[in-house]
């Protein structure tokens, strides 16, 4: 049978009303048009679907079967429309969001949690990359938006991207209690490269960034930093520093979170690259998916 949604809606309207006239009205069709559609349906099915009576119509056994399946199909269509509306509004689906290490560990968890909790059918894939890598992904059209450091502001602006600062993300030097550096309020990375350090595992975006700056500060030395041990988490790194294993470099928010009970002190790094701000980064606000705009607005972005 070659039935469309309008045919099914008309047939159910007629069956529920018990009258072709009233059913046509419910389906917003002229009586002649509705009668013609019903005749075509019966001819296509090869069987009577309605029993005409003096006071109206009733479904035949075949008509009852059609009505049953029509209700199922129309319910499924309504459900499909609802799901598609959800996708269009961003209430369903999977959102891919790129962020640097500082954003992923210090800023996003508390900010993202209530927003995501209010959207139970939405999934988010957070992907950690360096700020420079995120910009490259956006330029290549592989990412809609991300959270990066203002250390790469010039690179972002040259690519025609919008940058909006939303939080401080200064890097600080962790030193064990009693270390000589605790007497100093500030330090430059170049001045402490002779010390032993605790780092994060290779491949971590922040770790890669720190090692790049260490090579620059040491004027290109191949191994400018003596990494005594590398940890997979900031908490592990902080604990190692607290036990005197070496120095560490972490975002200020991370240092504060883990400081209690770990026995280390923080020293401000005066290097320009360490005094960072976290920025939301995107290209054209009005071309972003609705759900991405919603997330960025929640995180502090202003339409640009």
How is the chain split into domains, by residue range? 5-89, 93-168+278-299, 171-274
pLDDT the model gives residue 296? 95
- Look up tokens 């019903």; give the residue: 38
117 vs 271: CA distance, rounded Å: 38
- pLDDT tops 90 at residue 3: no
Instruction: Record the tokens describing residue 82, joined without a space.
Output: 């609802």
Instruction: Give the model's confidence band at 90: pLDDT under 50 very low, under 70 low, under 90 confident, else very high.
Output: low
pTM for the full predicted model: 0.57
- Look up tokens 């059918």; give the residue: 121
Nearest to 44 by CA among 78, 102, 2, 98: 2
Q: Is the four-CA dihedral 34, 40, 42, 44 of positive or negative sign?
A: negative
Write the CA distances from 154 to 135, 160, 229, integer angstroms: 11, 10, 34
pLDDT the model gives residue 181? 92
Q: Do domains 5-89 and 171-274 have the same CATH topology?
A: no
Class of domain 93-168+278-299: alpha beta
What does the mean pLDDT of the chain come to?
A: 88
Instruction: Give the model's confidence band at 127: pLDDT under 50 very low, under 70 low, under 90 confident, else very high.
Output: very high
Q: Is the four-CA dihedral 142, 147, 151, 154 of positive or negative sign?
A: positive
The percentage of the chain sitting over the pLDDT mark of 90, rounded to a whole number, equals 46
State pLDDT tens for residues 21-60: 999 999 899 999 989 989 988 888 889 989 989 888 999 9
Give Cβ neighbours of residue 289 (< 8 Å, ≥ 6 apart). 90, 144
CA-angle at 275, arms to 272 and 278, nearest 5°: 125
Instruction: Record the tokens describing residue 181, joined without a space.
Output: 């550096």
SS3 of 93-104: EEEEEEECHHHH
First to last CA, the chain: 53
202 vs 223: CA distance, rounded Å: 14
Topology of domain 5-89, CATH? Arc Repressor Mutant, subunit A (1.10.10)
pLDDT the model gives residue 219? 80
- Look up tokens 């009233």; give the residue: 22
267 vs 269: CA distance, rounded Å: 6
274 vs 297: CA distance, rounded Å: 27
Class of domain 171-274: alpha beta
- Mean pLDDT on 199-215: 87
Instruction: Give the model's confidence band at 223: pLDDT under 50 very low, under 70 low, under 90 confident, else very high.
Output: confident
- Look up tokens 């007497």; give the residue: 183
């Amino acid at each position: 049978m070659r039935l469309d949604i309008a045919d099914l809606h008309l047939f159910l309207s007629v069956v529920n009303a018990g009258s072709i006239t009233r059913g046509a009205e419910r389906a917003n069709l002229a009586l002649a048009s509705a009668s013609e559609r019903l005749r075509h349906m019966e001819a296509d099915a090869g069987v009577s679907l309605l029993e005409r009576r003096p006071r109206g119509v009733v479904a035949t056994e075949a008509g009852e079967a059609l009505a049953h399946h029509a209700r199922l199909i129309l319910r499924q269509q309504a459900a499909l429309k609802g799901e598609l509306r959800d996708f269009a509004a961003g209430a369903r689906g999977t959102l891919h969001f790129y962020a640097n290490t500082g954003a992923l560990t210090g800023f996003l968890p508390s900010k993202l949690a209530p927003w995501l909790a209010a959207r139970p059918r939405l999934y988010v894939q957070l992907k950690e990359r360096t700020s420079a890598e995120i910009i490259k992904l956006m330029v290549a059209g592989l990412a809609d938006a991300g959270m990066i450091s203002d250390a790469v502001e010039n690179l972002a602006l040259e690519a025609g991207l919008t940058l909006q600062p939303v939080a401080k993300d200064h890097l600080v030097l962790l030193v064990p209690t009693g270390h000589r550096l605790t007497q100093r309020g500030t330090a430059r990375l170049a001045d402490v490269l002779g010390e032993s350090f605790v780092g994060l595992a290779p491949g971590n975006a922040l770790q890669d960034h720190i090692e790049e700056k260490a090579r620059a500060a040491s004027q290109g030395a191949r191994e400018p930093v003596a990494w005594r041990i590398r940890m997979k988490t900031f908490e592990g790194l902080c604990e190692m520093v607290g036990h005197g294993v070496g120095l560490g470099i972490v975002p200020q928010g991370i240092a504060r979170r883990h400081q209690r009970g770990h026995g280390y002190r923080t020293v401000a790094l005066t290097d320009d690259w360490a005094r960072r701000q976290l920025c939301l980064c995107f290209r054209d606000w009005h071309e972003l998916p609705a759900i991405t705009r919603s997330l960025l607005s929640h995180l502090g972005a202003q339409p640009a």
